Amino acid sequence: MDNHTLKTHALAAQKNAHAPYSNFKVGVAILGSNGNVYSGCNVENVSFPLGQCAEATAIGTMVNSACTSIKKIVIVSPTDELCFPCGGCRQKIAEFADSNTEVVMFSQSGDEKVVSLETLLPFAFQMDEN
């Protein structure tokens, strides 16, 4: 599935974002290893630390659908600047992806940037598997 098709899913999710405090609406679409698409939006809360990023919503949707492997993740910014995942979300993505998994960012004006997860999160925390 190409990045622009995934972007369409992310844009649809972005419309549902609950962001009355920041007005910074983000949409995400994950291509699961099973070929299905899982989308999500950010969900803010009046108690600010309880807010949830769009990446977390999409990951929760994916796991709830019994998929635990991210093939690609697309993040749509609400502005003309790219929106990179926050540090916490980088670790959440790493739970279900590998170092080569593509993370794709789109701005509203159509700028596109593709990076590997390893670029965003070098030396990710892992349990010792030896």
Q: Which residues bind Zn ion (CB under 5 A)?
A: 53, 86, 89
Contact 15, 27 (CB under 8 A): yes
Helix, strand, or coil (residue 91): helix
- 72's CB contacts (< 8 A; 6+ apart) are 1, 3, 6, 30, 31, 101, 102, 103, 104
CB-nearer residue toward Zn ion: 6 or 54: 54
How far apart are CB 87 and Zn ion at their closest, in Å? 8
Shortest Cβ 130–Zn ion spacing (Å): 30
**Which of these is catalytic: 44, 55, 81, 112?**
55
| 95 in catalytic set | no
Residues annotated as catalytic (active site), given as ranges: 55
